[in-house]
Structure 1
C-alpha cells in the first residue's frame, strides 16, 4: 500500500502524525480576535523554530541521556507550537509548512544556527527562562485556551530551564576549556537578548534574576555589550535554510498524509 495513499485515513497532519484530532476540539472558546491570533502565532513560531533547532541535535548530543532529554524538550515545544498555531484559527500544518521564512514571527534567538554543545546550553537557558516567565503570567489570561496552554507549558518549560541551568553550571564551573566555550556561546547569543524583552517587558525582571543567579553559580559574567531589539518579523539569514529543511517533505509531496 502506498505510504502516502489518501485513503489510509480521513485526516492527516504533517507535523504531528496522521489521524490526530483537533487539539482544541471540545474547548468552549470564541474565535480568536486578530490581536490574540497574532500573539499566539508569535509564541507558536518561537516554539516551532526552537523545536526544529533542537531536533537538529539528534545523534549529536554528548551522551545518550542527553540525546533523550534534548529530544523530549523538542517534542514539548512542538506540542506547544501545535496548540498555539491552532488557536489562531488557521490550520497548524498550513502555518508550519505553507509560509515562507519571511512570514514567520519567531524571535532571532530561536533562529540562530546551532553551534557546539555550550551554544545549545546557553541558548536553551536564555530561551526557557524567558518563556517560563511569559507562560507563568499567561495562566490567568482571559482567553481560556491560552490560559490552559500556558498552564501545561509551565510544567514542561520548568524542566527545560532546569536542564539547561544544570549544564550551564557544570560547564561554566568545569574545566578551562568548557568555561571558554560557555563564554564564547554567551558572547555569540547575548546580542539577541534585547529582542526577548521588546514584546514582553513584564518578563524581564524574572529573566534577569534567574539568568544572573545561574551565571554566578557557573562562574560566568553576562557580556557587557548588548544588541538592539529587533522587531518581530526581522530574521537572521539562517532561518531561511531551517524553514526550507523543515518544509522539504511537505513541499515535495503537497497534500499527502502519513
Structure 2
C-alpha cells in the first residue's frame, strides 16, 4: 500500500478548498446585483454550496497540517502566493454571460471530479465529495441551461455568450493538470486522475455548445500557475476585499 504523506494530503485538501472558496467569493459578488431576483437567489445558493464545501476542505487541511490553523486562518490569513486555486475560478464576473461561461466550464469538470473523489480512499475527502455531488449536479444544470438560453437567444445575447466562452476557454487546461503531489496521491487511491475526466468534460461541453449554437474556441494559449501561487492581477483585489475585516480586526468574532 502506498504511504500518503501529510504534506501531500494538506496540499491537496488546501487547493480543493481554495477552488471552492474563490469561486464562492466571485459568485457572492453578484449579491443584489443579478439581472433578476430569481437569478440572485440561484447564484447565492450556488455560492453558499461551494463555500460550504470550502469549509470542509479547509478544515481538513488545517487538521492534517497540525499547526493550529483553522478554516478561517487558512481563508483570511494567507497571501496571494499561498493560494492554490485554478485561475479559472478567480476570473472577474464581467457581465452575466462571463459569469455563466466561467461557471459552466467549471461545473462540467466539477461534477465528474466530485463523483470520482467520492470514491477516494481518504474517508474525509470522500465524505465531502459525496455531499457535493448532488449540489454540483444542480450547478451544472443551471449553468448549462443558461449557456443554451443566452447562446441560442437574441443576436446580442449570442454574441456576449460566445465572447464569454472565448474569454474563459484558455483557463480550462489547468483543470486537468496533475503535478507530483496529485500523482502520488492518485497512486494511493486518494486523489482523482484528472485526465480520466477529459472525455466526459468534452462531451458535455460539445453537446451544450451545439445546442447553444456556440463555437468551441481554438487557442494555443494555456495560462497556468494557480496551483503554485502564480495568479492573475485581479486576484490580489479579490483577496483584499475578502480578507479586509480579519486583517483590520485580527481575531474578531461575531
**Shared fold per TM-score greater than 0.5:** yes
* Runs (5+) with no aligned partner, structure 2: 64-68, 179-193
Identify if the C-alpha distance between structure 1 residues 226 and 153 changes in structure 2 by more than 3 Å, giving closer, same or farther: farther
Are residue 239 (structure 1) and residue 235 (structure 2) matched?
yes
SS at 1:234's partner residue? coil
Partner in structure 1 of residue 222 of structure 2: 228
Partner in structure 2 of residue 14 of structure 1: none
CA distance in 1, matches of 2:107, 2:29: 18
CA distance in 2, matches of 1:239, 1:191: 17
Single out whichever of 149-158 and 226-235 deviates more from structure 2: 226-235
SS at 2:177's partner residue? helix
Are residue 215 (structure 1) and residue 209 (structure 2) matched?
yes
Partner in structure 2 of residue 203 of structure 1: 197
Are residue 142 (structure 1) and residue 124 (structure 2) matched?
no
> C-alpha displacement at 1:177, in angstroms?
0.3
Are residue 79 (structure 1) and residue 52 (structure 2) matched?
yes
For residues 157-179 of structure 1, the C-alpha deviation after alignment (integer angstroms, 9 at most, x for no partner) is 11111000010110100000000
CA distance in 1, matches of 2:76, 2:5: 21
For residues 82-107 of structure 1, the C-alpha deviation after alignment (integer angstroms, 9 at most, x for no partner) is 00011112411010001011110010
Structure 2-normalised TM-score?
Answer: 0.87
The runs of at least 4 consecutive aligned structure 1 residues that moved more than 3 Å come to: none
Aligned residues: 228
1:164 pairs, out of 133, 137, 143, with: 143
Map 1:112-191 → 2, pairs under 5 A: 112-191=91-170
CA distance in 1, matches of 2:82, 2:88: 17
CA distance in 2, matches of 1:54, 1:229: 22
CA distance in 2, matches of 1:201, 1:99: 30
2:15 pairs, out of 10, 29, 42, with: 42
Single out whichever of 85-94 and 154-163 deviates more from structure 2: 85-94
* Runs (5+) with no aligned partner, structure 1: 1-30
Are residue 253 (structure 1) and residue 226 (structure 2) matched?
no
Q: Contact (CA 8 Å) 1:194, 1:226: kept in 2 or not?
A: no
Structure 1-normalised TM-score?
Answer: 0.86
CA distance in 1, matches of 2:220, 2:168: 10
SS at 1:36's partner residue? helix
CA distance in 2, matches of 1:166, 1:150: 24
Identify if the C-alpha distance between structure 1 residues 230 and 251 changes in structure 2 by more than 3 Å, giving closer, same or farther: same
Are residue 56 (structure 1) and residue 29 (structure 2) matched?
yes
SS at 1:119's partner residue? helix
